[in-house]
Structure 1
Amino acid sequence: MAQGVVVRSLAGFYDVMDQEQRYVCQPRGVFRKQGVQVFVGDRVEYEILEPAKGVIRRVLPRDTLLARPPVANVTQALLVFSLLRPLFHPGLLDRSLIEVLLAGLHPIITLSKCDLVDGSLADSLARPYLLAGFPVLLLSVRTGQGVPNLRAHLRGELTVLVGPSGVGKSSLCNALSPTLGLRMGEISEKSQRGKHTTRHVELFSLEADTLVADTPGFSQLEVNIQAAQLSSYFPDFTQFAQNCAYRGCRHMEEVECGVKQAVASGRLASSRYDSYCNIYQELKNKEWSR
C-alpha cells in the first residue's frame, strides 16, 4: 500500500504528499469509532480510489506529537515572537516553551521584527532565555537580518512554527522561500494583536530535506501539567534551586528559597519568575477545583 505524509488538514479532508504527487484523502470511517486522529505531519498508508483522491487506511506510529498547534513527527519547534507590533509577551513565550518541551521537541526562540527596536532592548529580552540554555535568534524579515542563520538551523529538519498571531510566521516562510506566496497578516492597532493569516496547519517544503509547518497564531495558551512538575520546565531555576532550604521547595511562599534569592539579586530574570508564579497559581487553582 502506498505511503505518504499528511501536509494539510482542512474540513475533514487531508492532503497526502507522496513524492511530488498530492492526493486529497479522507480517513477510514472506522477511525472515529476507534478514536484514531489524523494530524498534519503524520505518515500514513493510503489507497488511491480515483485520480488525485484516496482514503487513509492507517496512521503509522508517531515519533512526536505537539498538542497545540496539533502536528506530528516534527523534530524541532521555532517559537516566533515579535519584539514590537504585537508587543513581546514573555509570559506567552514561557507557556509555549513548556508545551514544546512537554512534546519532547527541541525549541529555537526567534525574536522577530528586531529592526523596530533598539539593539540593546532586543539583547536584554533575549538574555533570560540564553541564560536558560535556549538558542535565541534575532531576526528581521524586512532587512534580512538573521535569515541565513535561521535557514541553516532549519536545514534537514521538520520544524513547526509556533507563536501568536501577527508576529510574522507567514512572512518568515516567504523570506525563507519566496515561492510559497503565503499572505502576510495585519496588526490591530487597537489591541496590538495580530489578525490570523494562517487558519490551518500546513507543511511546506523549503528544500529537498527541509520541511516547515506553518500554523495559526494564538493569544492564549493553557498549560496542562501538575503544579509540582512546573519547575522542571524552567531549566534556569535548577542551579539556584540547589540553595533552597527545603526539599521540594515550590519557590513560592517559602522564606529560604534559592530561586527567590536569585531573583532578588538580579541573577535570575524577574520576568521568568513572574511567569512561573502565574502559571503555578493557575495550575493549583485547577487542582483545587477538581
Structure 2
Amino acid sequence: MPEGRIIKSLSGFYYVLHDGQITQCRGRGVFRKQKITPLVGDDVVFQAENELEGYILEVKERKNELVRPPISNVNQSLLVFSAIEPGFSSLLLDRFLVLVESNGIEPIICISKMDLVPEDKKPDIEKYAQDYRDIGYEVILTSTVEQDSISVLYPVFEGQVTVIAGQSGVGKSSLLNVLKPELELKTNDISASLGRGKHTTRHVELLPIGGGLVADTPGFSSLDFTDIEVEDLSSCFPEMERVSHSCKFRGCVHLKEPKCAVKEAVEDGTIPSYRYEHYVQFIDEIKQRKPRY
C-alpha cells in the first residue's frame, strides 16, 4: 500500500501527497470508533483507485501534534509577530514560545512590518530582538516591501515541516504571498474598532515553499495552558532551564524559594525581567486552571 502525508483537510476529505501527486481521500469508518482524527501533517497508509477516490487505512505514529492549530509532525514553528499594527506583544510571543517548546518544536521568531516602524521606535523592537537572540532563539526582522528581508526565510524552510503561527493581523498571509505569489492568499487589514486583525486563514494546509512544507494556520489572539504543569513550565523558558540546576532546592519553581538561581539571574539582568513576569503570570494561570476529570 502507498504511503503519503496529509497536506490539507477540508469538509471531511484528506488530501494526501505521495510521489508528487495529491490524492483526495476519506478516513476509514473505524477511525471514528477508535477516536482517531487524521491531522494535516500525518504520515498515512492509503489505497486509491484514482486521484479522487481514496481511503486512509492507517495513521502512522506522530512525533508531536498541536491542538490549535490542528497539525502534526512539525519540525519547527515560525512565530510571526508584527512590530506595529498590531503592536509587538512579548507576552503573547512568550505564550506561543511556551506552546511550541512544550511540544518539542524548534521556534523561530519573525518580527514583521519593520518598514512601518517610526525611527524613534525601532530601538525598542531591536532591543526585544536582541533579548530573544541572547536567549538562543533565531530572530528574523522582515518587511514585505523589502524582498531581501523575506528571502532569508527560504533556507529556513529547506527540508523542514514548518508551521507559521502568531497573532491575527500580523501579516502571515502577506508574508506567504511574497514568498510564493501564486498562492494569492486572502489578507485583511486590521480592524479599526477591535485594534487587531481579522482571521483570514480558515483551514490548515501544508504548502511547498523553499524546499520544505509550510503550514499557514488560523491566527489566535489567546492561548490556554491546558497540558502544562507548574513544575514543567520553567523547562519551556530556555534561559531559566540553563541556570535552574544552580538553585538550592531540587524542584524549585522559582517563586518564593530562597537561593533561587533564576531569581538571582533576573536581579542581575541576565534574564529579562519581563520574561520572568510572564513566567509568574503563566504559573498563576496554570494554578487557577480547572481540574479535568
Provide TM-score, normalisation by structure 2: 0.90
Change (3 A) 1:278 1:170: same
Match of 1:88 in 2: 88
Instruction: Return the offset for 1:145.
Output: 4.7
SS in structure 1 at match of 2:192: coil
Change (3 A) 1:113 1:62: same
Instruction: Return the offset for 1:8.
Output: 0.8
Match of 1:218 in 2: 220
Match of 2:283 in 1: 280
Matched ranges for 1:82-231 at <5 A? 82-117=82-117, 118-207=121-210, 209-223=211-225, 224-231=227-234
Tell me, yes or no, if the aligned pair for 2:24 and 2:51 is still in contact at 8 Å. no
Q: Is structure 2 residue 261 aligned with structure 1 residue 235?
A: no
SS in structure 2 at match of 1:4: strand
Tell me, yes or no, if the aligned pair for 1:76 and 1:105 is still in contact at 8 Å. yes
SS in structure 1 at match of 2:289: helix
Change (3 A) 1:182 1:18: same
Tell me, yes or no, if the aligned pair for 2:172 and 2:216 is still in contact at 8 Å. yes
Tell me, yes or no, if the aligned pair for 1:203 and 1:212 is still in contact at 8 Å. yes
Instruction: Return the offset for 1:245.
Output: 4.2
Gap runs ≥5 in structure 2: none
The one-letter code of the counterpart of 1:10 is: L
Instruction: Return the offset for 1:50.
Output: 5.1
- Structure 1 window deviating more from structure 2 (236-245 vs 164-173): it is 236-245
Match of 1:11 in 2: 11
SS in structure 1 at match of 2:191: coil
Tell me, yes or no, if the aligned pair for 1:68 and 1:99 is still in contact at 8 Å. no
Change (3 A) 1:258 1:62: closer
Change (3 A) 1:16 1:265: same
Match of 2:29 in 1: 29
Instruction: Return the offset for 1:255.
Output: 5.0
Q: Separation in 1 of the partners of 2:41 and 2:292?
A: 36
Match of 1:61 in 2: 61
Q: Separation in 1 of the partners of 2:291 and 2:23?
A: 48
Q: Separation in 1 of the partners of 2:59 and 2:244?
A: 43
Gap runs ≥5 in structure 1: none
The one-letter code of the counterpart of 1:85 is: E
Q: Separation in 2 of the partners of 1:245 and 1:3?
A: 51
Q: Separation in 2 of the partners of 1:254 and 1:239?
A: 18
Tell me, yes or no, if the aligned pair for 2:31 and 2:37 is still in contact at 8 Å. yes
Tell me, yes or no, if the aligned pair for 1:49 and 1:55 is still in contact at 8 Å. no
The one-letter code of the counterpart of 1:190 is: S
Match of 1:250 in 2: 253
SS in structure 1 at match of 2:55: strand
Q: Deviations over 1:217-275 (max 9, x none)?
A: 00111122110111111111245445544443322233543333333333321211111
Q: Separation in 1 of the partners of 2:70 and 2:14?
A: 14
Tell me, yes or no, if the aligned pair for 2:23 and 2:50 is still in contact at 8 Å. no
Tell me, yes or no, if the aligned pair for 1:83 and 1:113 is still in contact at 8 Å. yes
Q: Separation in 2 of the partners of 1:59 and 1:164?
A: 31
* Count of residues in Structure 1 that have an aligned counterpart in Structure 2: 289
Q: Separation in 1 of the partners of 2:139 and 2:98?
A: 16
SS in structure 1 at match of 2:152: helix
SS in structure 2 at match of 1:146: helix
Provide TM-score, normalisation by structure 1: 0.91
Tell me, yes or no, if the aligned pair for 1:108 and 1:136 is still in contact at 8 Å. yes
- Structure 1 window deviating more from structure 2 (36-45 vs 110-119): it is 110-119
Across the aligned residues of Structure 1 and Structure 2, the Cα RMSD in angstroms comes to 2.1
